[in-house]
Structure 1
Amino acid sequence: MSAPNKSYDPVEVEALKPEEIERMRDEALAAFAAAGDLDELAHAKVAHTGGGSPLALANREIGALPPQAKAEAGKRVGQARGVVSKALAARQAELEAERDTRVLVEEAVDVTLPYDRVPAGARHPLITLSERIEDIFTAMGYEVAEGPEVETEWLNFDALNIAADHPARGEHDTFFVEGRDGGEGTTRAEGSGGGSGVVLRTHTSPVQIRSLLDREPPVYVICPGRVYRTDDLDATHTPVFHQVELLAVDEGLTMADLKGTLDHMVRALFGGEGMKTRLRPNFFPFTEPSAEMDMVCYVCRGESVGNPDRPCRTCGSEGWIELGGCGMVNPKVLVACGVDPNKYSGFAFGFGIERMLMFRHNVEDMRDMVEGDVRFTRPFGMEI
């Protein structure tokens, strides 16, 4: 058995020679000094301090040396690696300071400059929704009709078969601009007939009457607009709100046409083939037969009904949400507009756009729509 090789000189290992260690150290220092930014320094760091760097590989050679030779070789390599680490830290500090100084210069904001930027605006969501509804029906061949907001009682009430003693004609529900005697500010609602008084329209139905008076059937119009009621402003009511009403008068129209039109509308507004409507019997002076229209809940699609494991806050687990009134046009209304009820029939419906906005976008307080706060309108954007 041979004796230990006590005369083995570590400098005979090429990677551990003093000149080689110095060369590796100097190359690392030069690479760090040449790095122009932090990204280049990161690459140099991996190349000269990583596990595959020359100094790391030389350090591995020490393990093959005899015990009496390891100390000197380890000291030599350790000193070189220490110098490299200090140089790396110093250069990194320099480059970070340069970066921070450059950012302060390049991204500086002169707060004394005049403010000339126009803040991002937004269209009011009621207008956007109204126009979307108009688009749905104009695509079906309907015409958008408009009329004045100050109307005669005859157009607002009488032509719609609303009797003189109907509660809607009282001052508790209607803003009267001019009474029968022509006195401004009078709120009497007595009598009927053309020119009996001037009111702020309580619905957009007068536009339907004007459309029938101005056009020969067939008539297909949609009537959006602002209306007025003597309601107090609260979370669910406002004295000024928006309605959209539809009128179709043609030969052979039936409740089936009305139902199909309603179904198409709710599918277009709320999406999904599962959306549908239902009609519940009701009474309105201007339609006969009349109905309240409901749409299936757009959140639960009716699946919350009788299902305690899946309650729905939107519809109260009833499965349906009330939209508004509808029905076949009363023949008396057709006669008042000069349309032959024996030849023509029609259907109509109407609903509040504010209420529809609350449904579609989970708006909880109607006052947000009228207070003019841009924080309410901006999330709806600039959809045109």
Structure 2
Amino acid sequence: MTPEHDALPTPRASVAALPAYVPGARGDADVPPIKLSSNESALAPVPAVTAAARAQAEGVNRYPDMAMTALTGRIAAHVGRPAEHIAVAAGSVAVLAHLLQAYAGPGDQVLFAWRSFEAYPILTRIAGAEPVTVPLDAEARHDLPAMAAAVTDRTRVVMVCSPNNPTGPTLRTGELEAFLAAVPRRVLVVLDEAYLEYVRADDAPDGLALLDRHPNLVVLRTFSKAWGLAGLRVGYAVGVPALIAPIRACVTPFSVSSPAQAAAVAALDAAEEVAARAADVVAERARVTDALRAAGWTLPEAQGNFVWLALGEDAIPLATHLGGLSPAILVRPFAGEGVRVTIGAPAENDAFLAALADAPFAAR
């Protein structure tokens, strides 16, 4: 046999070249860490949510409802839109992957700000399209005029993240309206609102309010953050049916489990309690940012459940230092750029602030 005959199959070149998605560090199981690396909720789900998931676990020998009828209807009621305006999948990352499968491919470009959510370039490459990035401005915000100017005849999808993960600022309603007016209607604009429930900025946009005026807009939301269901994976998109139907067509059948569907419905039924928990996180975020600024740190606007320290080349060294403590304090570094720190429970935040004060890295 020839060497070529013995060679194993190879992936597409674009897949072979993919950067690895870097999850938040998990630490040493023997010494539980202070985990501030993954933007999870520090609180367990509300009791009704846990009970709903547990009840469905008795029937996991059966397939879940592939159409997710009850959950889709409950989300539709929550957002005030008909059910055909909703696409549900296993987390908003999966929704975005299906959206890109439906709308972008070889020869197409997908445009987004950078640094932003690290899944964007990965999902774009998996779809076979070319990622095009536009740098954030000096305040770690989207430069929307520059993004509008970067749209070309090959641009099929533009993604904007508000609040921006990992830096924290929101878009402003006026600038987003101007951006949507400037982008050709043939281009699909995705507004990622994964951290919406933590936003308190007066001029932050509400994506749902923009849908009627901008039918090429799709809004992404998730149950993984404020709703406390990161381990169950439920997210959704909202848009006009003509845009949503192709996304639904790409969703992996039965990908949202019965416990996840039931838990998300129960979470929506407990929306007031979830909102109160989000308000507690916002208050804790204010306490942490005040302490950091008092210590000399210059922070961008923080509107998610995290803060951003622009450490540059010291990002990895600081994360390594904190991770070497006992217990380890786990944060999410981005090499050469900065460190994202999730707002945890008050005692966890206090431990981080104390460790940062003792770390051999100057505030900046």
TM-score between both structures, scaled by the size of structure 2: 0.24
Larger Rg: 1
Higher relative contact order (CA 8 A, sep 6+): 2
TM-score between both structures, scaled by the size of structure 1: 0.23
